[in-house]
Every structure is written in C-alpha cells, then in structure tokens.
Homo-oligomer: A and B are copies of this chain.
Amino acid sequence: MPPNIPDIVIGRLPIYLRALTRLAEEGHEVTSSHELGQLLGISSAQIRKDLSHFGGFGKQGTGYQIDFLIEQLRQVLKVNREWEVALVGAGDLGSAVAHYKGFKDRGFHIACVFDISPEKVGKKLGDFTIQSTQDAPKIIAERDIKMAMITVPAQHAQEVADMLIAAGIRAILNYAPISLNVPDNVRVQYIDPVVHMQRMTYYLTS
C-alpha cells in the first residue's frame, strides 16, 4: 500500500471507478482526465494528481486505457475480490438494504442477516434466513467477516457496533442516524440521507 495517501483521495477513487465502469459498459475503451473531469465535475488536474499517488496509470497525451485503469483501481481499493458483509437489523431499512441489487459486481456480498427480535429470527428475508443477533459474534468470528452494515434503531447502534468490533469487524457502514465511537483500527462510514439534504438547504433561497 502506498504510504500516506490522504483519505480524501481514497474517497474519490470509488467515484472514478464507478464512472469508468459506466464508460466501459457504454463501449468506451479510452478516456482522459479531461473527459473524466467533465463527467464528474472534478478538475482534470485533481484527477491526474489523485491517480499519480498510485503511479499514474496513464501516459501524458495518450489518455487512460479504461479496462486497465478499472483493474488497477479495483486492486488499490481491494475490491478485486468479494467481501462478505454482515447486516444487523432486519426492519424496513435492513430489508431494503438486503434487497439492494447494487452491491453485486462491486466487491460486496451480504453473507448473513441478524436481528434481535425473536419474532424475526428464523424467518426468511429474500435469500436469507434471519439469525439471532446473539449468535452474531460467533458466526462473524468463525467466518472471519470483516465488514458489517448497521440498520438498527439509533439507540441500539453503539452497542451493536461494540459487539461487532469485539467479534472482529473492522469496517462498518452505519445507516443509523448517530455517530459511532470506534477504536482507531476500525473504519466507519455513514448513510444518513437527512445529513445530505440539510447540507443542501443551506444554499436554497426560497
């Protein structure tokens, strides 16, 4: 891993990967930092600088081979494999996440679904049989699962996170609208649509 890449650069790589995948699906073979920048609303200089952290992946003037760049980015981001993900919380939100088809082919695979409610345990949720959250530590440790999504109510999210981390989880996507306290060796990302909405209303004039 190249040392000391700013996290903000890492955060842009999945955006580049998503755009490149789209270009490939549309039949393009070559692109440029200029074209990518236009697509993404990011300056071409920024894109070249970001990619230069990893060796550049392209030659000045000839652009980027899209398939090659996709493979390199998948390797840098470690999504040239499939990660098993544990989902905790099988309510409305958890059901929607379990059914979401967008994880496929992008590096992730929901491997198990947990809920604390005895009425839900044993029931089917899509292809999954809901398992008890009480069994999660054992199952996560046995399967060596490193990633989890939390879709429980906000007031239970921290205790669930603590349990997951103790079981070996090192990356959490938290859908509960609450900030989590985690040790330095655990990453957390958040999905809270209201935070995004409130960031936009500031700029609205009526």
**Which residues of A line the B interface, CB within 8 A?**
1, 7, 10-11, 13-15, 17-19, 22, 38-41, 76-79, 83, 85, 92-93, 95-97, 99-103, 106-108, 144, 146-147, 149, 154, 170-171, 173, 177-179, 181, 187, 189-204, 206
A3 → chain B, closest Cβ, in Å? 13
Cβ B93 vs Cβ A195 within 8 A: no
Contact A206 B39 (CB under 8 A): no
Per the bound structure, the CA–CA distance linking A10 and B11 in Å amounts to: 19
Name the residue of chain B whose CB is nearest to the CB of A190.
B196
Nearest CB on B from A83, distance (A):
6
A7 surroundings in chain B (CB, below 8 A): 199
What distance in Å separates the Cβ of A184 from its nearest Cβ neighbour in chain B?
10
A202 touches B106 (CB 8 A): no
Asked whether B179 lies within 8 Å of A200 as measured between CB atoms, the reply is no
Contact B199 A189, beta carbon cutoff 8 Å: yes
Select one of B38, B39, B96, B198 contacting A79, CB under 8 A: B198
Copy total for this chain? 2
Residues of B within 8 A of A170 (CB): 203-204
Q: Is there contact, CB below 8 Å, between B77 and A107?
A: no
A189 surroundings in chain B (CB, below 8 A): 196-197, 199-200
Determine if B203 and A171 form an interchain contact, defined as CB atoms under 8 angstroms apart: yes
The answer on a CB contact under 8 Å between B193 and A103 is yes
Inter-chain contact B196/A191, CB cutoff 8 Å: yes
Q: Are A171 and B201 in contact (CB under 8 A)?
A: yes
